[in-house]
Structure 1
Amino acid sequence: MNGWVLRATALGALVVVLRAALGFAMVYWPTQGSWMRPLCLVVLVAAIVFWGVLDGRKDRQVHPDPEHGSDLTIRWLKTAIGAGLGSGAISWLLDFLPKFDLGDNGLLFELTASASFIVLLVFIPGLIGVGIGRIIADRRITKSANPPVAQQPEAAATPV
């Protein structure tokens, strides 16, 4: 399976699960939405950044030269588009089921406005995570290449 398909499926599923959980919570605890919405957003962004950090570290370890690394921008763009369109379509279908309150949005809205928000929400933090991961890997590479020099005690000067 391609790397972006796995990422798009997992992150799209996470979006749908968080939207369903938020919809359920808003039906039964409507006054608690002021902290539930940001919590779901933070959980999603944290998962995306974490995965991006893993990608960036792995790529830098495989390709230590920054000029010859993998093109993770396109991988994350494909991931974002797949997650956005997939989560929008699945959310639209789940909204027809009883006990699922996902906003009663139409298919056109889910595949355009909602999907474009998810695309940006996945793409930008994903690339931020890739950058952080590459920086972390660069630091480890430079530390291992230049180990700190231990100071030697001064030898007593002996006349020859």
Structure 2
Amino acid sequence: MTAWVLRATVLGALVVALRLLLGFAMASAPTYGTIWRAGCLVVIVAVVVAWGMRDGRSGTAADLTVRWLAAGAVAGLASGAVCWVLDQVPGIELGDAGALFELTSAASFIMLLIFLPALVGVAFGRRRARRTPESAARVSEPEFAPAT
């Protein structure tokens, strides 16, 4: 399985699970809607940033921008389609959005919600990976003193 397919599958499933959880939470306690939405947003962003940092620290020279863009696009489209299908099931409330909305606006929002924090995580991970060996080398290697 290619790297972007794994990311798209896991993150798309996470988005669907969080939207289902949000739908049930909003049905049971609608007055806490802002807190529920913010919590779901924080979970998605935290998972994506952590995964991006892991990619950045791995030290591969692969183009992570295209990998994360493809993962975000597929996760956004797939989660939008799955959420639209689940919204047709009686008893599951996900906001009654139409297929056009789910496959355009919601999908592009999810794509950006995955892509941008992932690149921040990659940049932070690469920066930390660059600093770690240098600082360890400075501490462990003694100063060179020529013999006279």
Q: TM-score, normalised by structure 1?
A: 0.85
Deviations 1:117-143 (A, max 9, x none): 001100000000000110111111212
AA at the equivalent of 1:24: F
Residues 24 and 99 in structure 1, CA contact (< 8 A), matched pair in contact too: no
Over the aligned positions, Cα root-mean-square deviation in angstroms equals 1.4
For residues 91 and 142 of structure 2, the distance between their equivalents in structure 1, rounded to whole angstroms, comes to: 66
- For 2:123, give the aligned amino acid: G
Spell out the pairing of 1:18-57 with structure 2 (5 A cutoff).
18-57=18-57
2:111 maps to 1:93: no
Q: Give the counterpart of 1:83 among 75, 83, 88.
A: 75
Per-residue deviation, 1:30:
0.7
The structure number with the bigger radius of gyration is 1
Partners of 2:130 and 2:55 lie apart in 1 by: 13
- CA drift of 1:149 comes to 5.7
For 1:146 and 1:82, the matched residues in 2 are separated by 44
Shift, 1:148, TM fit: 4.9
Name the amino acid aligned to 1:73.
Answer: T
Query: Could you say what secondary structure the match of 1:14 adopts?
Result: helix
Equivalent residue letter for 1:90: V
- Structure 1 residue runs of 5 or longer lacking an equivalent are 63-68, 152-160
Aligned: 1:11 with 2:11: yes
Q: Distance in 2 between matches of 1:54 and 1:3?
A: 13
> How far apart, CA to CA, are the structure 2 residues paired with 1:143 and 1:102?
50
Cα deviation for residue 96 of structure 1 reads 1.1
Partner residue, 2:125: 133
Q: Deviations over 1:135-156 (max 9, x none)?
A: 11111121233335669xxxxx
Aligned pairs for 1:102-141 within 5 A: 102-141=94-133
Structure 1 residue ranges (4+ consecutive) displaced by more than 3 angstroms after TM superposition: 148-151
AA of the residue aligned to 2:85: L
1:154 maps to none
Q: TM-score, normalised by structure 2?
A: 0.92
Percent identity, please. 54
CA distance in 2, matches of 1:102, 1:90: 11
Hey, what's the Cα distance between the residues in 1 that align with 2:27 and 2:47? 26
